Amino acid sequence: MKAIVILISGRGSNMEAIVQRCAAEGWDARIAAVVSDRPGAQGLQFAAERGIATAVVDHRAFADRAAFGAELARVIDGYAPDLLALAGFMRILDNGFVQHYAGRLLNIHPSLLPAFTGLQTHRRVLAAGCKLAGATVHFVTPELDHGPIVMQAALPVHADDDEAALAARVLAAEHVIYPLAVRWFVEGQLDLQGGLVRHRGGASLLLM
């Protein structure tokens, strides 16, 4: 059985979606822990109520990124994860941390990468007049919001969309593709080679 550790900073709705799909679909996996860099992260309560171990590594207690990353990795490794899933984890991770989890570190980002890395993606999508928006699950590499793309959801931008409406539709799509990508990772279906990911069974990695 694979051990999954999920990192959150706030609401944790993607974490919830993974926890729920894992239980509902009976994956050969368990959520070993939910770890946050913020003591008040809303998602911690959801996890604790379901008997999932929780931990907080408060980034404010560390002098620099590397010291924070080292302690975070020490705590995470206590749960011996096969997969580490960043789910709304809003801290930049240092290279040492990323390399330590190379090949078993996934993230979800609310844009069609490589477009719109960073923050306020929906606002920037609207300001650019994009007709298509979406979300991306990718393997994490040291460069922020980059790394081999696992799966994308694409959806139209409506003429009357505001940031909140677009964010809500993208989030709903995130809740579909992230659990699916994690499930496929757990099942050994994701083949990562030369920076490209394919599904071994030929399943589509695009949701439209």
Q: Does 14 bind ligand GAR (CB under 6 A)?
A: yes
CB of 52 closer than 8 Å to CB of 31 = yes
- 10 contacts ligand GAR (rule: CB under 6 A): yes
Of 13, 27, 106, 140, the one binding ligand GAR (CB under 6 A) is: 13
Residues 6+ apart with CB under 8 A from 27: 2, 21, 183, 186, 187
DSSP code per residue over 58-90: -GGG-SSHHHHHHHHHHHHHTT--SEEEESS--
Structure token digits, residue 184: 């496929």
Please confirm, yes or no, whether 138 is among the known catalytic residues: no
Report, in Å, the least distance between residue 41 CB and ligand GAR: 8
Tokens representing residue 142 in the block: 């040291």
Single out the residue of 33, 145, 147, 182 in contact with ligand GAR (rule: CB under 6 A).
145
- For residue 34, give both structure tokens: 């939910």
Site for ligand GAR in 22-81 (CB under 6 A): none
User: Which CB atom, from 2 or from 138, has the smaller least distance to ligand GAR?
Assistant: 138
Q: Which stretch binds ligand GAR (CB under 6 A): 48-56, 72-80, 106-114, 155-163?
A: 106-114
Q: Which residues pair with 29 in a beta bridge?
A: 2
Q: Which positions touch ligand GAR (CB under 6 A)?
A: 8, 10-14, 87-88, 108-110, 135, 145, 171, 174
Active site residues: 109
